[in-house]
Amino acid sequence: MAAQPQGIASRPAAAAAAGSNPMMVSTSPTTRFHSPPSSYNANASFGGRSTTGSFSSTGAVGDSRVVGNAKPLKPFNSTDIKILLLENVNESGRSILTGQGYQVEHHKASLPEAELIEKIRDVHVIGIRSKTRLTEKVLAAAKNLLVVGCFCIGTNQVDLEYAAKNGIAVFNSPFANSRSVAELMIGWIISLARQLGDRSSEMHSGTWNKVSARCWEIRGKTLGIVGYGHIGSQLSVLAEAMGMSVIYYDIVTLMALGKARQVASLDELLREADFVTLHVPATSETRNMIGTAQLDQMKQGSYLLNASRGTVVDIAALVEALTSGKIAGAALDVYPQEPGGNGAFFNGQLNPGWGDELRGLKNVILTPHIGGSTEEAQRAIGVEVGDALVRYINQGITLGSVNLPEVNMRSLTLEEPNHARVIYIHRNVPGVLRRVNEILGDHNVDKQITDSKGDIAYLLADVSDVKPSDLKEITDSLEALSSRILTRVLY
Ligand SMILES: NC(=O)c1ccc[n+]([C@@H]2O[C@H](COP(=O)([O-])OP(=O)(O)OC[C@H]3O[C@@H](n4cnc5c(N)ncnc54)[C@H](O)[C@@H]3O)[C@@H](O)[C@H]2O)c1
């Protein structure tokens, strides 16, 4: 349910508000420096969970996502964090965020650009799925945005580079639907072997056609998996349980599950397999990975399955191989061109050259990119992205980020009073770490980690025995460096 926005001060307003507090600093989640709570006292020990409660009016105490003795790190009241969720993000993700005490505004659909620009202006977090485009124009309007959660697999709807350059982390959930895809493959293999698609559509048009010719059991047949990653390896286990022999080809040497066997080349796999299934990413090497030459290598009467990416198969070549009878059946979930929405769009105009012909072929299963589309996968995506957002907001951990370096550091614990975590997102220019270490070097740095991704670097440092005035000095000094993109201090 949408929570009512409570009007968090924007950066300039927050700075003005800071004038009224004795530390002369702001408590807004995205201002550069946050006043520690009154409990933060360099001479006193926090000593337990109850004291930690003063970090936040609602979020920190009893925080179920804080493991063991880990200290929830927050520079702000959880209720100040404003989150905009669009496109009906799954309840599993929403409840993780509301459970933290954040203000969550939830919309069922995406928003038109003008409204999006208006809404994104002062939120700290935005959660989207595939339809919301976060372009440079939209992101530039977001003055307080810390992080984007893509509650989906793809992230090409977000200008990742612009986001990184402006210190906005982006998270997604690439593997939460692996099992859903693997299970669909088992369904497809049986459906192709038994020509189920054809029998079903014949029955729907009133035709009774009881045949057993060229219908097979899958037990004892060989499944060739191309790409033995998250999906390929899940499928391997399922297929063996169905009595299939599994071989796989991958550019990386990978430990086989069960009795599966890695083969040395794609050609070897194509020559041996009764069913060839593709589970590779879209890269320049996998573009048209299966074309005429590869289809020629496949066994007479074998089957091809593709639920990876539409560019991996030369579909015109596949149409020829199906028409000639070389390939006995195929199942496709992905296409070079896919419609932007549901409706009568899957036609020859969308994919000229083969679109209409493909639809007219026997024993060809066509599905609209639904391999990973299950309730379970949506729930798992909600949990994975929700958790990643909480970790990032509360602890600065970037594990799973697609546009910032992935940096993890063990949590501060409740036994460590007067510690603070300094987060410094900066441009990766020569000499910057020397300058940063000069600033931090006057203090007791317990642990520090830094990593870079292209032009952007991310630094986490836990500093102990620091007074609020030290934290302000550290923040001001880091902010003064020309390499700075974003500084946050959590405690
Ligand atoms: N249809 C859907 O709804 C759906 C859902 C999820 C994922 N996918 C797609 O499925 C594919 C596989 O996903 P995943 O999660 O298993 O990915 P993954 O990254 O876990 O595994 C991919 C595997 O392919 C291997 N690989 C890469 N290039 C290769 C090459 N040239 N030859 C052989 N092997 C190669 C990698 O080493 C890796 O082991 C991706 O393209 C993904 O986008 C589709």
Residues 6+ positions from 375 with CB-CB distance below 8 Å: none
> Are the beta carbons of 71 and 491 closer than 8 angstroms?
no
Give the integer Cα–Cα distance in Å for 47 and 290.
Answer: 62
Q: What is the pLDDT of residue 192?
A: 98
Cα-to-centroid distance, 314 and ligand 1 (Å): 17
Mean pLDDT lowest among 75-79, 148-152, 387-391: 75-79
Tokens of 255: 């430990």
d(CA 71, CA 419): 10
**Rg value, the chain, Cα:** 27
Q: Per this entry, what is the length of the chain?
A: 491
The answer to whether 26 touches 18, Cβ cutoff 8 Å, is yes
Mean pLDDT for the stretch of residues 255-262:
98
Residue keyed to tokens 């409840």? 95
Confidence of residue 194 (pLDDT cuts 50, 70, 90): very high
Which atom of ligand 1 is nearest to 370's Cα?
A: 3
Active-site positions read 309, 338, 369
The helix/strand/coil state of 350 is coil
- Pick the more confident residue, 149 or 469: 149
Provide the whole-model pTM.
0.81
- Asked if 221 and 198 touch (Cβ cutoff 8 Å), the reply is no
Burial 163-181 (b: 16+ CB within 10 A, else e): bbbbbbbbbbbbbbbbbbb
Pairing state of beta strands 82-85 and 275-278? unpaired
Residues with CB under 6 A from ligand 1: 153, 175, 177-178, 181, 226-232, 249-252, 279-283, 285-286, 307-309, 333-334, 369, 371-372
Spatial CA neighbour of 373 closest among 176, 212, 192: 176
The β-bridge relationship of strands 484-490 and 420-427 is antiparallel
**309 CA to middle of ligand 1, Å?**
8
The Å distance, Cα 364 to ligand 1 centre, comes to 22
Q: What is the pLDDT of residues 16-45, one digit of tens each?
A: 333 322 222 333 444 444 444 444 433 322
Which domains can be identified in the chain, with CATH numbers?
A: 8-175+375-406 (3.40.50.720), 179-192+219-366 (3.40.50.720), 416-491 (3.30.70.260)
- Please say whether the beta carbons of 403 and 161 come within 8 A: yes
Return d(Cα 424, Cα 432) in angstroms, integer.
11
Task: For 281-329, write each residue's pLDDT tens digit.
Answer: 999 999 999 999 999 999 999 999 999 999 999 999 999 999 999 999 9
What's at 476, amino acid-wise?
D
